[in-house]
Amino acid sequence: MRTVKRVFCACVFILSYICILSYICVAGSANSSEADRVIQAALQPSPLEMNLHRLTDEIGGRVPGTLAMQHAVAWGVQAFTAAGADSVHTEAFTIPYSWSEGDTAMTATTAYQVDATKLGGGTVLSSFRVRAVSVAWAPALAPVKHIPIVDVGDGTAADFKKAGDISGKLILVHTVVLKTWDDLFAEYAKAPPVIDLAVKGKAKAVAFMATRDHDILYRHTNSAAGEIDRLPMVLVAREDGERMARLLAAGNSVWADLSIPNQIGGPIKSANVVAEIRGSERPDEFVILGAHLDSWELGTGALDNGCNAALVVDALRAIKASGVKPRRTIRFILFSGEEQGLIGSHAYAVAHRAELDKAAGVIVYDSGTGRTTGFSIGGRKDFLATAKNLVAPLAQFDVKNVKLDMEWGTDHFDFMLEGVPTFVADQDEANYLENYHAVSDTYDKVDFAQLKKHVAEAAALSVELADLPEKIGPRLTHEQIEQAMRETNSVDMLKADGIWDDWVSGKRGREK
Ligand SMILES: [Zn+2]
C-alpha cells in the first residue's frame, strides 16, 4: 500500500530561507565521499533482478497466512545472508484474522422490451457475467440470486437519500479513474462513509466500480488493522459497472446473482525479516531501511512492493561491497502485514519502543519504480537543513526535494508516531497507479534502471544517517509530535484515516 496525503505548512517558505543559512553551516558534516563509494557499489551489476524474479515470478503474490508469504520470509533470510549481512533474524507478530478469496461470481440480469413481431416481442431477459473480486478482509456472502441493484452514485449522504430504500439490495458505487496520488488517497478516504451508510440502510452488499479501465481488477481493503469488515463487498470491472449504471439510468431494472465464498480463519502469525550491518562505533544506535515484503495476490506484487524489498536487500549488499563501515548499526527490515494496515511495522515499533530513543532515522520505499524526487520527513523542521545536506549527493539522480509532509499509508508511520525521524521516498507516479494492487502488477512493469538508482540513494542515505556525528534529530515527545501534526495540517488526514482517536487516547504512537 502507499497512500499519500500531501500537506503543506504555511511556514515552509519562511523556513526555506532560514534553512539556506543553516545549510551553509552544516554542509560538510556528512561524509559525501563515503556516500559516493556506496553509490558506485550500488550501481554495479548485482543479483537485484534475479532476487526479484524469485520473489515475484516463483513465489508470487504474498498474503500473510499463506504458504507464499512463508516462502517470501525464507527468501528474505536467504537473500540478506547472501548479500553479506552481519546477522539475520525474523520477528513474529499476529494478525487477528486470516482471509482468502474463494471463487467470487457475479452475474447481472436486466429486462428489455422487444416489439418486432418477427422476434416474437415481449419482455426479454439478458444476463452478462460481471468481472468481480471480493474486497479484502470483507466477509463472505453465501450464493444469493436476483438481488436488486441500486445505483448510489458517488455514495454521498445525498446520493443515498436520492437512491431511496437500499435494504437487502446490492448498491453500486461510482468512482473516478485513478491518475494521481491524491486520487488514491481519495479512494481510500471515500469508502468508510459509504460503508457506514450501506450498513445503516441494511444493504446486502456493496459493489465498488474499479478505478482502472480495461477490465483491470485489483485487491482493495477498507479494513484498518486486519479486522473483518462489516459488509460483503466486491470490486467490479469498470466496464461492467458502467454498463449496469447505464442500464439503471435508462430505467431498466438490474438484478445480480452473487456469491462471495471468502475463507476466513482465526489469528495468524506472520514475520518481519531483520538483517543488520553492525555499527563500528555506536552499534546500539541504529538506522532502519525498510520496505514491505507482503503483497496482494491478484498479480505478483512487483511494483508494490517486491521491487523495494529487493532494493533493501541490494542496499545491504552495496554497503558491504563498498567497504564502508557505518558508525551506527543499519537495520534492513522487510515488513509483513503492511497491506492489512501496517501491522508488521506497527508491531515492530511497539516491540522495540524501549530502544527507539536510539533510532537515528527510518527510511522507507513503497512507490514502485517511479523516479525518486525527494523525501518527506514527517513534520521535522528541526532537521530539515541537515536532511537537505544529506540528500545533496543524490542530486545526480534528480533527488532534490525534502518536504515536511507527514504521510500515512506505509511502514514509516508508526515510527513517526513514536517521534523517530523518518524519511519516506517521494516518487513520480510513473506506472505505479494503473497497476496498483492489480492483476497487472508483475515483474515486467519494473523499471530496473531506475530501481538501481534507488538502491544507490537508499544505501547512501542510510550510511549518511548512520555516520552523522550526532543523530539527525532527537526522538520527539507526544506533545512535540502533535505540534508537528498541527503545523503540517495533518490532523484531518489522521481523522480521515481513523487514527486520530487512537493517537489522542495514547493507544497508538508515543505515550504521553
Ligand atoms: Zn506498498
- Give the pLDDT confidence of 246-305 residue by residue, as tens digits: 999 999 999 999 999 999 999 999 999 999 999 999 999 999 999 999 999 999 999 999
In this prediction, residue 19 carries a pLDDT of 39
Q: Decide if 314 contacts 46 (C-beta within 8 A).
A: yes
User: For 26, phi and psi rounded to 5 degrees?
Assistant: -95, -10
| pTM (global) more than 0.85 | yes
In this prediction, residue 317 carries a pLDDT of 98
In this prediction, residue 159 carries a pLDDT of 98
β-pair type (170-173, 141-151): parallel
Mean of pLDDT over the chain: 93
Question: Which of helix, strand or coil describes residue 371?
Answer: coil
β-pair type (122-130, 105-114): antiparallel
pLDDT in tens, 270-285: 999 999 999 999 999 9
Question: Which of helix, strand or coil describes residue 351?
Answer: helix
Q: Decide if 319 contacts 326 (C-beta within 8 A).
A: yes
How close is the Cα of 90 to the center of ligand 1, in Å? 20
How close is the Cα of 168 to the center of ligand 1, in Å? 35
In this prediction, residue 118 carries a pLDDT of 66
Q: Decide if 213 contacts 207 (C-beta within 8 A).
A: no
pLDDT bracket for residue 2 (50, 70, 90): low
In this prediction, residue 114 carries a pLDDT of 84
Residue-wise DSSP of 470-489:
S-SSPPPPHHHHHHHHHHTT
Task: Specify the DSSP class assigned to residue 281.
Answer: S
Mutual angle of helices 307-322 and 448-467, in 10-degree steps: 50
For the chain, how many residues are written?
512
CA dist 396 and 461 (Å) reads 14
In this prediction, residue 31 carries a pLDDT of 60
Whether the per-residue pLDDT at 20 is higher than 80: the answer is no
How close is the Cα of 411 to the center of ligand 1, in Å? 9
User: Residue 509 is which amino acid?
Assistant: G
pLDDT in tens, 319-342: 999 999 999 999 999 999 999 999
Task: Specify the DSSP class assigned to residue 438.
Answer: B
How close is the Cα of 39 to the center of ligand 1, in Å? 25
How close is the Cα of 345 to the center of ligand 1, in Å? 12
How close is the Cα of 402 to the center of ligand 1, in Å? 21
Q: What's the alpha-carbon Rg for the chain, to the nearest Å?
A: 24
In this prediction, residue 498 carries a pLDDT of 85
How close is the Cα of 494 to the center of ligand 1, in Å? 19
How close is the Cα of 274 to the center of ligand 1, in Å? 18
pLDDT bracket for residue 122 (50, 70, 90): confident
How close is the Cα of 304 to the center of ligand 1, in Å? 5
Whether the per-residue pLDDT at 13 is higher than 80: the answer is no
Q: Going by C-beta distance under 8 Å and a sequence separation of 6 or more, which residues neighbour residue 388?
A: 19, 23, 402
Q: Of the segments 20-24, 116-120, 366-370, which one has the largest average pLDDT value?
A: 366-370
CA dist 215 and 389 (Å) reads 46
In this prediction, residue 22 carries a pLDDT of 40
Residue-wise DSSP of 189-257:
HHHHHHHHHHHHTT-SEEEEEPSSSTT--B--B--SSS---SS-EEEE-HHHHHHHHHHHHTT--EEEE
Whether the per-residue pLDDT at 512 is higher than 90: the answer is no
What would the grid cell of residue 420 be?
A: 523517530
How close is the Cα of 312 to the center of ligand 1, in Å? 14
Whether the per-residue pLDDT at 30 is higher than 80: the answer is no
Q: Decide if 330 contacts 363 (C-beta within 8 A).
A: no
How close is the Cα of 309 to the center of ligand 1, in Å? 10
Alpha-helix residue ranges (DSSP H) falling in 92-180: 157-163
In this prediction, residue 500 carries a pLDDT of 95
In this prediction, residue 27 carries a pLDDT of 39
Nearest in space to 149 (alpha carbons), one of 104, 201, 105, 110:
110
Whether the per-residue pLDDT at 132 is higher than 90: the answer is yes
Whether the per-residue pLDDT at 420 is higher than 70: the answer is yes
Q: Which of 4-8, 270-274, 291-295, 369-373 has the lowest mean pLDDT?
A: 4-8
pLDDT in tens, 452-466: 999 999 999 999 999
β-pair type (282-292, 141-151): unpaired
Q: Decide if 425 contacts 365 (C-beta within 8 A).
A: yes
Whether the per-residue pLDDT at 39 is higher than 70: the answer is yes
Residue-wise DSSP of 124-144:
EEEEEEEPEEEPBTPPPEEEE
What would the grid cell of residue 175 be?
A: 468512482
Angle at alpha carbon of residue 227, lines to 224 and 228, rounded to 5° = 115
Whether the per-residue pLDDT at 6 is higher than 60: the answer is no
CA dist 393 and 30 (Å) reads 10
In this prediction, residue 47 carries a pLDDT of 98
